[in-house]
Structure 1
Amino acid sequence: MDNEYEKYIRWFKKVTEGRPGAEQFLQWLETTDFFTAPASTKYHLNTFGGLVLHSINVAEEAAAMCHGYGLEELAISAGLCGLVHDVCKVGVYKCTTRQVKDEYGNVQIVPVYEYKDFLPLGHGEKSLFLAQRHGLQLSDEEAAAIRWHMGPYRDRDAVREMSEAFQRFPLAAILHNADMAATYIIERGVGEKP
């Protein structure tokens, strides 16, 4: 059975075949903690390797949604967007410990992740910036999908723009929904501790 790293690389090469900048982006990604980082501090896949697994889950769900909705022409882009939508999380999680009382009142030292962002650009914006900064060329629709993948959970004051992006670019709505399905359904209860 493939590990997540191999699965991600295989997926990435499939959805970026012939795309300018893809190899440059992948080379950069391999110099980061992307393949070992958690997907969150205490929510979904907050465990070693959670970020790469979450990215694969979103890619698979987004591509499947495209096929399910008869939008086969978007499946490759959906897969790519799923794989890169959360690169903003590269280098932001650090494993540390915290004292917590157990059910008997005894103090236990437990491992936890802390979040520290050194480039506070915003979630989708930062992922888009990093992907393009490291060579990956994206279409307007792919850029909108990555930028708006958090939907109304980010930038509540920009709901009008998000709604416009969802209306103009079906891929943006698909990636947001795939991200939500992966987080709240597929990954439910996975990754309790680092």
Structure 2
Amino acid sequence: MNIDCKKNQEEFVELLRSTKREGIEYVIEDLEKDGFFEAPASAGHHLNVAGGLCLHSLNVCKAGLMVWEGLKTLDPASANQVKRESVILATLLHDVCKTDIYKRTVKKRKNKLGQWEDTEGYSVNYKKFPMGHGEKSVIMLLLSGLELQDDEMLAIRWHMGAWGINMNSYEDQRCYDTARTLNPLCCIVQSADGIAAAILETTSEDIENI
């Protein structure tokens, strides 16, 4: 898959700037400097190619905005608790934690004949800032100088849903449940992330390899 990194970066930046949020230019500067726009979305799953992380973030944003629009019909009271700019910020920036964890490498992979061959890919390394996933994204954004609202931080922190919970921690479980119950944005971002990764970005090859 060939991704137009420049085009996606322009769309990503335009959406971020549309929020007019304090500190957004610092975030854009740091993302560009750290290689966000050329990073893959994963090492071996969805969009594991250069530029995949930005494209995934755009897919999540578009899905999130559609979920939010649909919620206006299903439950206007809940939808009114969420600002459009919050949907954009939380979806576009939920995975900035992945910016520095992927490194190019050569992997062994079976071809259609069942023979092993060398192929370019990515390995994962958490050495730079091993702070977790959603919580790492929140911290990185705050360090960049972005003014985040509470529901935006919670939506980014818990966007992985149950996958982001330490099931041995009662506190984690209660925090997650409380965040989702009190903040509709949490469910919007979590749902949009699932729609993007499991539907929009699933290929025929992914299905064959199940």
Give me the TM-score of the superposition, normalised by structure 1.
0.91
Q: Which 5+ residue runs of structure 1 have no aligned equivalent?
A: none
The one-letter amino acid paired with 2:89 is L
- Displacement of 1:190 after TM fit? 8.1
| Pairing 1:48-87 to 2, within 5 Å after superposition | 48-70=50-72, 71=79, 73-87=82-96
Instruction: Find out whether 1:5 has 2:37 as its counterpart.
Output: no
CA RMSD of aligned residues (A): 1.9
Structure 2 counterpart of 1:185: 199
**Which residue in 2 is equivalent to 1:153?**
163
2:75 maps to none
Given residue 47 of structure 1, which amino acid in structure 2 is its aligned partner?
A: V
How many residues align? The count is 190
**Given the superposition, is the C-alpha separation of residues 13 and 49 from structure 1 closer, same or farther in structure 2, using an over 3 Å criterion?**
same
Alignment partner, residue 88 of structure 1: 97
State the AA in 2 paired with 1:49: G
Question: Is contact 2:38-2:53 (8 Å) kept?
Answer: yes
**Where does 1:1-194 land on structure 2 (aligned, <5 Å)?**
3-15=7-19, 17=20, 19-70=21-72, 71=79, 73-104=82-113, 106-117=115-126, 118-157=128-167, 158-189=172-203
Q: Deviations over 1:102-122 (max 9, x none)?
A: 354543111121010121111
Alignment CA distance shift 1:4-1:191 (3 Å)? farther
Quote the Cα distance in structure 2 between the aligned partners of 1:21 and 1:103. Answer: 49
Q: Distance in 2 between matches of 1:143 and 1:121?
A: 15
- For the structure 1 residues 28 and 191, does the alpha-carbon distance in structure 2 shift closer, same or farther, using more than 3 Å as the test? farther
Deviates more, 1:99-108 or 1:43-52: 99-108
Counterpart code for 2:39: A
| Cα separation, 2, equivalents of 1:105 and 1:44 | 22
4+ long deviations beyond 6 Å: none
- Contact 1:45 1:191 survives alignment (8 Å): no
Partner deviation per Cα, 1:70-97 (whole Å, 9 max, x = no partner)? 1264222011111110000011111110
Distance in 1 (alpha carbons) for counterparts of 2:68 and 2:110? 46
